[in-house]
Amino acid sequence: MSIVDQAQQTQLRNIQTKTGKTLDQLKELVLASGLSKHGEILAMLKKDLGLGHGDANAVAHYARKDTAAPAAAKPAAPGGDPVLDEIYTGPKAALRPIHEKLMAQIHAFGEFEIAPKKGYVSLRRRKQFAMIGPATNTRVEVGLNMKEEAGTARLEVQPPKGMCSHKVKVTDAAQVDAELIAWIRKAYDGAA
């Protein structure tokens, strides 16, 4: 099971604990609502169950997974994780070991949510603390949200009101070092 799959399973277990409902009961609630648009389902789950956006999104995807029209089958990639297989495809495939090494280190921090986006993954606790994805065919960018952290040549401060306050460019798995992990940990701790 991939790291993303493990995180999604953890998130679904936590949602069941929060709501006191099984996955089958949550799916039935969504189906019984008669809603078909993703945004409408999210709004209903947030209102009726008090779920946050990420948890409501996970339930909506879970509930609609078996009822959605089947998509055209894509050949399975060697990585085995469809989200990462799509992000790290073609010339960007060589960057996947960087992503895997980062995620292995971050999972040691504790629980968090992984929200796949187009071209990257967002890592969230109460709020987003990091974004990881290939920026070019030769580098992965790690976006971080850290208040009042001074920039360095490596830890680039981003313009205000952006998705992240800082960015680190990583071109080799060896650059996933103690300094980078310490910055990610600081962002993780700040998102509690």
Strands 113-117 vs 120-124: parallel, antiparallel or unpaired: antiparallel
In this model, does residue 11 exceed pLDDT 90?
no
Q: What is the mean pLDDT of residues 159-175?
A: 94
* DSSP per residue, 142-161: EEE--TTPPP-SSSEEPPTT
The runs of H, that is alpha helices, within 34-153 are 38-49, 53-65, 82-87, 96-107
Q: What is the pLDDT of residue 77?
A: 41
- Listed by start position, the domains of the chain span 3-65, 82-190
Least confident interval from 37-51, 73-87, 152-166 = 73-87
Residue 162: predicted pLDDT: 87
Q: What was the pLDDT predicted at 71?
A: 37
What pLDDT is attached to residue 1? 57
- Give the C-alpha separation, 56 to 123, whole Å: 16
| Whether 117 contacts 132, CB under 8 Å | no
The per-residue pLDDT for 172 is 96
* Nearest CA-CA partner of 81 in 158, 164, 4: 4
Average pLDDT across the chain, whole number: 86
- Helix axis angle for 178-190 and 96-107, nearest 10°, is 60
Q: Kindly report whether the global pTM for this prediction surpasses the value 0.85.
A: no
Residue-wise pLDDT tens digits, 22-78 = 988 988 888 888 888 888 888 898 899 998 888 888 888 888 775 443 333 333 344
Q: Give 91's contacts (C-beta < 8 A, 6+ positions apart).
A: 137
